[in-house]
Structure 1
Amino acid sequence: MTNVNLFDLSGKIALVTGASRGIGEAIARTLAAYGAHVIVSSRKLEGCEAVVAAIRDAGGSAEALACHIGEMAQIDALFASIEKRHGRLDVLVNNAATNPYFGAIVDTDLSSFQKTVDVNIRGYFFSSVNGAKLMAKNGGGSIINVASVNGIIPGDMQGIYSITKAAVISMTHAFAKECASSGVRVNALLPGATDTKFASALVQNPAVLQRLMPHVPMQRVAQPDEMAGAVLYLASNAASYTTGTCINVDGGYLLG
């Protein structure tokens, strides 16, 4: 029997949004390490270029394309550029997200509400629309949405963020159901508390950690690299019959 590496992504074009740091950067580096040409995208080009340089230094293939997924015109321009440059897209990781408000849900202001919805729901939705259409032209692909355990159990003082992540989980199911016939698989990653700048208000707050850790059987927060393996699986041929699922990478938090 031929020894096939089911995780080999050689020849694949992968787009990772929000990839200039944290979980997105870890995912981009991992996909590149397994052979994908990775398009590193985020709002600021400089941060993306730094990740691209690191990937290339490690022997991988990558390029930087700036995009603010809270802006519809920028989403359309990003995918048009990818189609023009590569003619295809095989993997889309929707990771860019925002969480501008930390406080009581009843005190959420309209600006914070709108920004969170525009990025975390609308941005994911229309990135998936563009990605799925481009993938379908070339026989299929894999979309991975980075949601959150907060989409299952709302986080304290993170009401609107948690609501948008619940929407991402539902979105994953809806796209998976409709896009399967086009060869497009759609799954989600649900990270638990992870040591990133994005989550610093939580993981670097002793009072918050004191409340959280009793609910995490592994008794620690995750490192960004620990999220990348699940995404590699979902992006690869190892997950060829996997769609519409959510993989919890949370140290057991959702066990209750």
Structure 2
Amino acid sequence: MFDIRDKVFLITGSSRGIGRAIAERAAEAGARVVISSRKQDACDAVAEGIRANGGQAISQAANVGRKEDLQALVDRTVAEWGGVDALVCNAAVNPHYGPLETIQDGAWDKIMNANVRSNLWLANMVMPGMAERGGGSVIILSSVAGLRGCEGIGAYGISKAADIGLTKTLAVQWGPRNLRVNAICPGVIKTDFAQALWDNPEIAEPSIRATALKRLGEPDDIAGVALFLASPAARYVTGASIVADGGMTVTIPM
């Protein structure tokens, strides 16, 4: 039920952090993975490491804010490996920290375009081909920030809430063609992207205390969820938002 051998995974934002962990673990399980982020050299380094360990990987740089870059990424994947079985929309940005009243229009547009619109673009590029192949899985990386109000990263949280809505709508529209769409909502994960939330002990400790498992997450903690959602074991799971936060959102401080 968990066999993903020879499945083609296209993963954005996969040169580091959660995306890289998903790519490396999928390759270890026998999948063929496409590494993508903004910088080609960073993509190449991850793909080379996977191949050195006996895995199958190709790399293609793409800026998710550019539709032509994403189309080239999809076209390369189809040309190399015939199609996509699992699309993982992981790339995201957050150029603004602070209340919504201080956000500039440019920062708002950048967050929404990179975190939401790019996922819609990719879905529309990939899902018709998935349907022709008989089915597939789309996984959108949301966040627990999309499930609750946020003080410092409110705009980012709004974009992640929108991703949950996008997940549900795509699941309904594509379900009749055997396509599944799900979101993962990580808590605080120790990545470069979230470094400000865990690198400083004064900031990290309250998060640790508020987490049932009493630790912050690692990228592999999310990779396992993604591999499950892409596998036949999740064949009846669609439209879901799976929270992987160590119990942060269910813990009530006393």
**TM score, norm. by length of structure 2:** 0.95
Residue of structure 2 aligned with 1:190, choices 170, 185, 188: 185
What residue is the counterpart of 1:233 in the other structure? Answer: 228
CA distance in 2, matches of 1:106, 1:210: 28
What residue is the counterpart of 2:78 in the other structure? Answer: 83
Which runs of 5 or more residues in structure 1 are unaligned?
1-5
CA distance in 2, matches of 1:35, 1:253: 32
SS in 2 for 1:116: helix
- Greater Cα offset, 79-88 or 13-22: 79-88
Residue of structure 2 aligned with 1:132, choices 104, 120, 127: 127
In the TM superposition, residue 212 of structure 1 has moved relative to its aligned partner by: 2.6
CA distance in 1, matches of 2:151, 2:55: 40
Residues 173, 244 of structure 1: 8 Å contact kept: yes
The answer as to 2:58 corresponding to 1:63 is yes
The answer as to 2:167 corresponding to 1:157 is no
SS in 1 for 2:126: helix
SS in 1 for 2:249: helix
Q: One-letter code of the match for 1:249?
A: A
What residue is the counterpart of 2:217 in the other structure? Answer: 222
SS in 1 for 2:60: strand
What residue is the counterpart of 2:3 in the other structure? Answer: 8
CA distance in 2, matches of 1:203, 1:106: 26
CA distance in 2, matches of 1:46, 1:192: 29
CA distance in 2, matches of 1:82, 1:56: 17
Residue of structure 2 aligned with 1:112, choices 100, 107, 116: 107
SS in 1 for 2:159: helix
Q: Deviations over 1:104-149 (max 9, x none)?
A: 2210111111110110010111111112112112111000011000
Which runs of 5 or more residues in structure 2 are unaligned?
none
CA distance in 2, matches of 1:211, 1:125: 35
CA distance in 2, matches of 1:104, 1:75: 31
Q: One-letter code of the match for 1:183?
A: N
The two structures, once aligned, show a CA RMSD in angstroms of 1.2
CA distance in 1, matches of 2:201, 2:100: 22
In the TM superposition, residue 77 of structure 1 has moved relative to its aligned partner by: 1.7
In the TM superposition, residue 91 of structure 1 has moved relative to its aligned partner by: 0.5
Q: One-letter code of the match for 1:160?
A: A
Q: Deviations over 1:54-106 (max 9, x none)?
A: 11122111010111111111112211222222221101000000011111221
In the TM superposition, residue 163 of structure 1 has moved relative to its aligned partner by: 0.2
In the TM superposition, residue 182 of structure 1 has moved relative to its aligned partner by: 1.2
SS in 1 for 2:246: coil
The answer as to 2:196 corresponding to 1:179 is no
In the TM superposition, residue 154 of structure 1 has moved relative to its aligned partner by: 3.0
What residue is the counterpart of 1:206 in the other structure? Answer: 201
The answer as to 2:140 corresponding to 1:145 is yes
What residue is the counterpart of 1:168 in the other structure? Answer: 163
Residue of structure 2 aligned with 1:123, choices 103, 118, 135: 118
In the TM superposition, residue 245 of structure 1 has moved relative to its aligned partner by: 0.9
Identity %: 39
Residue of structure 1 aligned with 2:19, choices 24, 32, 35: 24
Q: One-letter code of the match for 2:249?
A: L
Residue of structure 2 aligned with 1:102, choices 97, 107, 111: 97
Q: One-letter code of the match for 1:168?
A: D
